[in-house]
A = this chain, B = another copy of it.
């Protein structure tokens, strides 16, 4: 972004001279991940990035905006991966429900870099219902999620629209709660189950959800 970056010799990735804004975002992401939203002050973040407190405030205004930018930066690749996988599936013809669910869930769980960081952030936003948190989530995920709802509707044609929306909502609950890794399952199983293992969690989650999506309609 900074016009100074161009002066670096080519081939030197991870350029040591990043813009102030980038340094702040990197420091913020790491510190928020380590200590949580309230566990770290913007002063600490500014110091870690080597800038002054007011410089941080100049770039982000309020603390929440900083979180929003960090979140959006991580969320976009996830939403894009979801859409790409769905495209591939639909192009390949006969799609199975399990494949669609895996395509939706896997990018969120994998989250190439800094997975845990993003996961807890996502979980926390999912439980707030202030306008600010809603906006962050909507901007990041509404578009791709609606594509999945459409795809699921085609796979489950007998399911009324509202019922499908509920089941999609339930899926989000299992996903967010597992990503949050609150320690509840460890407490109940004396540590036998660990939601931190991506493949284990997914191999458990997908069949569970697929059965739920296919469940017979409740008697009205």
Identify which of A42-50, A88-96, A187-195 touches chain B: A187-195
Number of A residues near B (Cβ < 8 Å) is: 64
A2 at the interface (CB under 8 A from B): no
Identify which of A5-13, A15-23, A73-81, A128-136 touches chain B: A128-136
Residues of B within 8 A of A212 (CB): 208-209, 211-212, 215
Structural contact, A166 and B184, CB atoms closer than 8 A: no
Identify which of A24-32, A52-60, A107-115, A172-180 touches chain B: A172-180
A142 at the interface (CB under 8 A from B): yes
A99 at the interface (CB under 8 A from B): no
Structural contact, B126 and A127, CB atoms closer than 8 A: yes
CA–CA, A149 to B185, complex, Å? 11
Residues of B within 8 A of A218 (CB): 203-204, 206-207
- 14 additional contacts, CB 8 Å, given A126-B127, A173-B173? A36-B128, A123-B127, A124-B124, A128-B182, A129-B180, A129-B182, A137-B182, A142-B188, A162-B189, A169-B188, A172-B184, A173-B174, A173-B175, A211-B215
